[in-house]
Structure 1
Amino acid sequence: MSRFVDTMVATAAGARGRDKGMTTGEPGTPVRRTWLEVHERAARAAGALVAGGVERGAAVAVLAGDPAAIAPAVQAVWLAGGSTTMLHQPTARTDLAEWAEDTLRVLRMIGAELVLLGAPFDALADVLDRHGVAYRRIEDLDGEPLPAPVGVDEDASALLQLTSGSTADPKAVRITHGNLWSNAEAMWTAAELDPEHDVMVSWLPLFHDMGMVGFLTVPMLFGLELVKVTPVDFLAGPTLWPDLISRYGGTITAAPNFAYAIAARRMRGVDDGAYDLSRLRIALNGAEPIDPAAVTAFTDEGERFGLRPESILCAYGMAETTLGVAFAPVFTGMAVDVVDPEELEAGKHAAPVPADHPNARAFPLLGPPLPGLEVRVVDEAGEALGERRVGRLRVRGEAVTPGYLTVDGPRATRDDEGWLDTGDEGYVVDGQVVVCGRRKDVIIMGGRNIYPTDIERAATSVEGVRAGNAVAVRLDAGTRRERFAVVVESRFAGDDEAVRVLAKEIGARVVDAVGLRPYSVVVLKPGSLPKTPSGKLRRSAAAVLVPAAG
């Protein structure tokens, strides 16, 4: 039987189910529902699903934006013995014909015959009708309560998490009930979660693993207080985030690095004492490379509102391990490892140096592996490397997915010994994981391995470049003339003279940082850089924005 489902049901029936719950609807019309109320709604929805023909093992897709609708819907699917997939959501700029084609491809890939449809995507019912996609409106799922969960094994699929790659070439990570339980329990332990006092605050999208697992499933599973808004709410007014933490006494939050950079800039214009961030004990930074300068800017601004720098928790995770791989120790703040750039790039050795060493590289320490997980660094031949040797990061443990679903069929993820290749390069020091970058994005010039994050941090340090919106693009990969370009967003786009000055300054900062000059610097208007549905920049897709190399 599923430990995950059994615990979720027991939590709803116990004291935490009655006392703790989820607040949605901010900033307009907040509504709070206890986890017991969410479960009772889910049980009725599960009854309707089973009565409607959903069987054990069925894959059910969900297309909704309101967390108040999503929470009981996904729980209903689990109670009915099925797996859930959060579909990528169209935006105002989405071509609906292309979206429908991509969505049909995803539905075929995961074997889903039903979509649960909710606000604000109700209007897409006509699109689904035209393509013969069966759907049910979440608000209409109201049958006789399912008396008991449909029993499933630990290796049954619970979550088919779409990856952040191209929607035209989809891939889903198959997260089993055992995976989900193992990683949730490990994060519970590592984060020292306290249901009596912790309040989780999040705007993270529920179609992304950090939002779906970390800031919906975990609090629903263990009975923690949750305040949940949408990414649209955050982007419409980024100071909503510290405002909610202040008003609800938030103790735990999380976001990718770019959001901390945005929040730091927006808080600069706010009067001292406008927020109270003093209760925040975990501000997790993960899901994309962590820029120490952005973290420092956030903590510097936040200190005016009582934020304690020790609350920053740097983390490493991926959908393939359900969510978390490594967490830095709780309430110790950001710690960095400062290393020699030449040794790193030419010798693949993270040799420690003083912070004032010329062009020193500073990498955040991401903590030890979560309980139940192992991390190993190996060379190209798969041989284990010692401490501070840079190589491929591999991970093994109960939380690791058994495989992907792809358009070409299932694909295993683990080798014969159970190791998963993460696709990242990094090293281990004092038992803590350090990630240098994605292996496919490393720029190789003159025998040196240049990590794009170093270039991107240099570019975003220039006034006029939008925080978190710079990409280092690898050109002529694998050739003797490999080069790189820098693509940024700026409000100066369209002003030829301002762009010329900006590009010159970016080039100079990049040379200072890595000792190499970009082939070109491309300045785009805000909103132009290609991103994944979860908001991550897509380096490979940005390459088409660079004028053809001569």
Structure 2
Amino acid sequence: MANVDSAVSSSPGERDLEQLAQDLLNLTRTMVQELRRDKSAAVNVSLDCTLDRDLGFDSLALTEMIQRVEQHFKVHLPQQIIHTLETPRDFLREIVRAGSALVASAPESHIQRLSLGEADPAPDQVRTLQEVLAWHLRVHPERPHIYLYNDDDQLETITYADLHRGAQQVAAGLLRNNLEPGQAVALMLPTGRDYFDSFFGILLARGIPVPIYPPARPSQLESHLRRHANILNNAQVTMLLTVSEAKIVGQLLKAQVPELKGVYTLDDIRQEDPSAYSAAITGEQARELDIAFLQYTSGSTGSPKGVILSHANLLANIRAMGKVMQVDATDVFVSWLPLYHDMGLIASWLASLYFAIPLVSMSPLLFLTRPQRWLWAIHTHRGTLSASPNFGYELCLRTLEKQNPFEGLDLSSWRAAFNGAEPVSPSTITRFTEAFACYGFRPEAMAPVYGLAESSVGLALPPLGRAPLIDRVQRQPLMNNGQAQPAHAEDSEALQFVAAGQPLPNHQVRIVDEAGRELPERTEGRLEFCGPSATSGYYRNAEATAKLFSDKWLDSGDRAYMAEGDIFITGRSKDIIIRAGRNLYPHELEEKIGNIDGIRKGCVAVFASKDKHSETETLVVLAETREDDETVRAQLRESITELCIELMETPPDDIVLAPPYAVPKTSSGKIRRAASRENYEKGEIIKPQRAVWLQLLRVSFAGIMPLLRGKLRQSADLIYAVYCWLLLVIIAPPVWLILALLPSPRLARRLVSLASRMLLKLSGTAVELSGLDKLSKGMWGSSNTEQRNCILVANHASYLDGLVLLAYLPLEYSFVGKVELRRNFFARIFLSRLETKFVERFDLQKGVADARDLAKDAVSGRSLLFFPEGTFTRIPGLREFHMGAFVAACDAGAAVIPVTLRGTRSKLRETSGFPRRGGVGLIVGDVIMPEGKDWNAALRLSDRARAEIQKRCGEPDLAT
């Protein structure tokens, strides 16, 4: 759909210009689709996308695009424009200049104003949530945005115009009550029309929304007030919007929060005629770096902290999640999640707003009392996307077991069932998938995810259409040394962890030890992350912000390991229990205890408590039960003890059987283990007195052993790294000197190969080789004495890649490297003696010429080795391939041989300078012959080579 300035669109020439621009965008989309691995993914192309960064054009692709434009529009473009083309708009400008007959009248001002893009989702150019709503209001104001189920099951439809009108009325009321820009306004409202209007009303009035949750039970009113008073004081909230039933709570809060000037209902605040304030409620002055809202962490550990989320953070997160899940306007999101929680607010509502997909919203209370309504809403509205914490799927399973109110249910439209916000149970996802398969639910729809408020909401999503991965690891190595070693199928004691997906595009994740050094794959440590969705810190809390950051990295507070690009969460850092030097994971034991008859499922907390007498940690199990009979309670304790011994090889030091609601939970239903421990140590939970001196004696050194073991591991790692660098210092200088003096490149290559093998061997690096026999002289069916040319292409993961290739590839070949390497004296001498070919990356015209020269070298019989990714980063994954190697292979008719490297990134990551112990692998694939000499033949060759490498490299595909 075209959006053109009204003063311009009236011109006949401009209408021609629109059609010309649309044809150009269609041509560009086709080109981008050919370059991308995932041919089914939607291609979002606008006139202002950058050709290299946004669309992935390298110099050869740009050359091909110029040829297609000339052929399609029948124009001749000057050769020098290859230096100036940065966007499709630049192409449009050159087409108009080269072919005046194409457009009746197209001055530069018309070209500059022209805006063509997709009709439904907000364009990439919007910078704030206010701009997102304004864009929809201009394009399709009467399009349904929200279908809201009220408590009486009546369905209310809210359009974009309705939302804007209601938000303006709230904004006018806030301004009338003297809200100033940048002041915080708390929202203590249930899911409903008032919440939607209030949130955007605060934004339009240039305030900062602060979502908080209403009191759940009268018995918890005191703790609720204490917690919310801390939040409101920290945020310096000036107004509180709530329902009439909660005004008394608001007044009590007002007495504890000096900045809080008023407590209002929407009837108090809403202005039916906002015209008097219309100039102040446009939201047009909002900037992308302004605070969009404050998300107070749910408090599963420690005191609540206000996560600062800017408009830029939110939109980056929403766009990244939408890209992975290929969201478009045909989707329908069904949600019961509370809007005061980030998963309900951002992932459900604001993402639906951005992508212009209908949101079917219902109250969390409606779901909790009748879980089947969630699934029936997906059936009725043909929902494609929905989300829930793990317990939501468990509630549906219990409902199915009790009464099965699902006859006629059809879940076949559900393509992504997100499961996150709390630990994902392997048992739950397996049982839910199996139980609802007969209702059309597909295994690949279940999508375990990982996120946190500090990353807006999402940090990792699984690849679209992949069934959940459940990793079974050996219990003892993980508990003792943090090694997530795969377990055999018959291992009944194996721990199970669900893959939470791979980092979002443009986001990074790493696993580090206590010293902050990055750990290799399948080693457990602290999960750190960075990316455009990451918060700038905690609101008015410099101390907590300082603890959050380590340079550019943010500490998630979670422990995890990575395997083949996937993240596996093992628990919260502060919740891990250390006994006798072993790490114990409470969530597994909590789930098993919750399955005991008589124990309330989901109401069990397992934590470590410091014993006052021995100063060691004791293992405590707090479990809710309604049983009063002492015989039954004794049996429950015995069952819990047996489970502890079975899973952890140690009995609990204390078992507390408490009445219902004794286990503290967060607003999203997660167990608050830290709060449970605090209540226990204060004696606020009635517990039986037990002698625990035997258990205390056994774990008296529990705090010393893990510290000692960790220090020993760190020392060993440091010694190994220093040893490797010493090897390099000893071996490299004499090799470089001899290399510079050797008269023959063949002798130079042999010397470097021997030195590389020596370095790998002395460093204890085991090298697994496979397929080297495919590089024999007779591999093309020629005589043993004939050597034909080929193009080798390898994935690029580390500084070690060249070392491994030089050490073990038997074929004589020349590296193809970036021209910047010639600027370093030592690198230039070394690489030149190995007959390296240098190519230009940034001068597009020179880069095309270099590619043609390489093709001539290949024709002359010289074998070449390319890293088609062009560079490498610390992020695991196979990047987009540049086309130079494959165009050269097609031009020369040369065979392409894919070479896969494994383990080098984990052994020495970019910028780390800290080599780690571990082996590497080198796998030579089958010969691939080109099937033509044109661009499409080069694309097919690239796709086949990439598929071979992707299959063996053990890392995710970052190009999809």
Tell me the TM-score normalised to structure 1 length. Answer: 0.92
- 1:256 equivalent in alignment to 2:363: no
**Of 261, 266, 269, the match for 1:138:** 266
C-alpha separation in 1, matches of 2:359 and 2:516: 43
1:392 CA drift (Å): 0.8
**Of 615, 623, 629, the match for 1:488:** 623
Unaligned runs of 5+ in 1: none
**Of 529, 539, 552, the match for 1:418:** 552
1:101 CA drift (Å): 4.9
1:404 CA drift (Å): 0.9
Equivalence map 1:197-276=2 (5 Å):
198-268=331-401, 269-270=403-404, 273-276=407-410
Aligned to 1:13: 138
C-alpha separation in 2, matches of 1:294 and 1:118: 36
Aligned to 1:152: 286
C-alpha separation in 2, matches of 1:99 and 1:470: 21
- 1:298 equivalent in alignment to 2:432: yes
1:275-301: CA deviation from partner (whole Å, max 9, x where unpaired): 222221111111111110122222222
Higher helix share: 2
- Contact kept, 8 Å, 1:363 with 1:436, in 2: the verdict is yes
Aligned to 2:149: 24
Aligned to 1:400: 534
- Which structure would you say has the larger RCO, counting Cα contacts within 8 Å and 6 or more residues apart? 1
- Contact kept, 8 Å, 1:69 with 1:118, in 2: the verdict is no
Letter matched to residue 308 of structure 2: R
C-alpha separation in 2, matches of 1:115 and 1:409: 27
Letter matched to residue 199 of structure 2: V
**Of 147, 160, 166, the match for 1:41:** 166
Aligned to 2:742: none
1:178 CA drift (Å): 1.3
- 1:108 equivalent in alignment to 2:233: yes
Letter matched to residue 65 of structure 1: P
C-alpha separation in 1, matches of 2:333 and 2:664: 30
- Contact kept, 8 Å, 1:359 with 1:513, in 2: the verdict is yes
The percentage of counterpart residues that share the same residue type is 30
C-alpha separation in 1, matches of 2:141 and 2:689: 59
1:363 CA drift (Å): 0.6
1:113-141: CA deviation from partner (whole Å, max 9, x where unpaired): 11122365355465467666413322342
State the SS of the aligned residue for 2:322.
Answer: helix
State the SS of the aligned residue for 1:403.
Answer: coil
C-alpha separation in 2, matches of 1:474 and 1:17: 56
Say which is worse superposed, 223-232 or 9-18, in terms of deviation.
9-18
- 1:328 equivalent in alignment to 2:456: no
Aligned to 1:69: 194
C-alpha separation in 2, matches of 1:308 and 1:207: 30
1:247 CA drift (Å): 2.5
State the SS of the aligned residue for 1:242.
Answer: helix
Higher strand share: 1
C-alpha separation in 1, matches of 2:447 and 2:494: 23
Aligned to 1:451: 585
Distance 1:385 1:129, change over 3 A: closer
Distance 1:18 1:412, change over 3 A: farther
- 1:53 equivalent in alignment to 2:186: no
Aligned to 2:321: 187
State the SS of the aligned residue for 2:306.
Answer: strand
- Contact kept, 8 Å, 1:393 with 1:422, in 2: the verdict is yes
1:104 CA drift (Å): 3.6
- Contact kept, 8 Å, 1:378 with 1:393, in 2: the verdict is yes
- 1:372 equivalent in alignment to 2:497: no
State the SS of the aligned residue for 1:178.
Answer: helix
1:180 CA drift (Å): 1.1
Distance 1:413 1:443, change over 3 A: closer
C-alpha separation in 1, matches of 2:244 and 2:159: 21
State the SS of the aligned residue for 1:45.
Answer: helix
C-alpha separation in 1, matches of 2:249 and 2:191: 15
- Contact kept, 8 Å, 2:473 with 2:485, in 1: the verdict is yes
- Contact kept, 8 Å, 1:402 with 1:412, in 2: the verdict is no
Letter matched to residue 244 of structure 1: A
State the SS of the aligned residue for 2:661.
Answer: coil
Distance 1:381 1:477, change over 3 A: farther
- Contact kept, 8 Å, 1:200 with 1:224, in 2: the verdict is yes
1:405-429: CA deviation from partner (whole Å, max 9, x where unpaired): 2578883465363110111111111
State the SS of the aligned residue for 1:329.
Answer: coil
- 1:79 equivalent in alignment to 2:204: yes
Letter matched to residue 429 of structure 1: A
**Of 439, 451, 461, the match for 1:317:** 451
Aligned to 1:340: 474
State the SS of the aligned residue for 1:504.
Answer: helix
Distance 1:120 1:150, change over 3 A: farther
- Contact kept, 8 Å, 1:387 with 1:429, in 2: the verdict is yes
Distance 1:463 1:328, change over 3 A: farther
C-alpha separation in 1, matches of 2:505 and 2:619: 39
Say which is worse superposed, 158-167 or 71-80, in terms of deviation.
158-167
C-alpha separation in 2, matches of 1:323 and 1:381: 27
Aligned to 1:508: 642
State the SS of the aligned residue for 2:450.
Answer: strand
- 1:466 equivalent in alignment to 2:600: yes
- Contact kept, 8 Å, 2:128 with 2:315, in 1: the verdict is yes
C-alpha separation in 1, matches of 2:598 and 2:529: 39
Distance 1:339 1:256, change over 3 A: same
**Of 415, 423, 447, the match for 1:281:** 415
1:403 CA drift (Å): 0.9
- Contact kept, 8 Å, 1:202 with 1:228, in 2: the verdict is yes
1:185 CA drift (Å): 1.2
Distance 1:193 1:26, change over 3 A: farther
1:85-132: CA deviation from partner (whole Å, max 9, x where unpaired): 012311332555664454343222112211122365355465467666
C-alpha separation in 1, matches of 2:324 and 2:689: 48
How many residues align structurally?
548
1:400 CA drift (Å): 0.8
Say which is worse superposed, 403-412 or 519-528, in terms of deviation.
403-412
C-alpha separation in 1, matches of 2:427 and 2:397: 11
1:314 CA drift (Å): 0.4
Aligned to 1:358: 492
Distance 1:137 1:315, change over 3 A: same
State the SS of the aligned residue for 2:409.
Answer: coil
State the SS of the aligned residue for 1:518.
Answer: coil
1:375 CA drift (Å): 0.3
Distance 1:102 1:473, change over 3 A: closer
RMSD: 2.6
Letter matched to residue 483 of structure 1: T
- Contact kept, 8 Å, 1:8 with 1:222, in 2: the verdict is no
Letter matched to residue 177 of structure 1: H
Which structure has the greater CA radius of gyration?
2
1:17 CA drift (Å): 5.7
Letter matched to residue 573 of structure 2: R
Letter matched to residue 306 of structure 1: G
- Contact kept, 8 Å, 1:83 with 1:157, in 2: the verdict is yes
1:290-324: CA deviation from partner (whole Å, max 9, x where unpaired): 11012222222222322222211001111111101
1:448 CA drift (Å): 0.9
C-alpha separation in 2, matches of 1:404 and 1:87: 16
1:518 CA drift (Å): 1.7
Letter matched to residue 144 of structure 1: P
Letter matched to residue 621 of structure 2: V
C-alpha separation in 2, matches of 1:445 and 1:166: 22
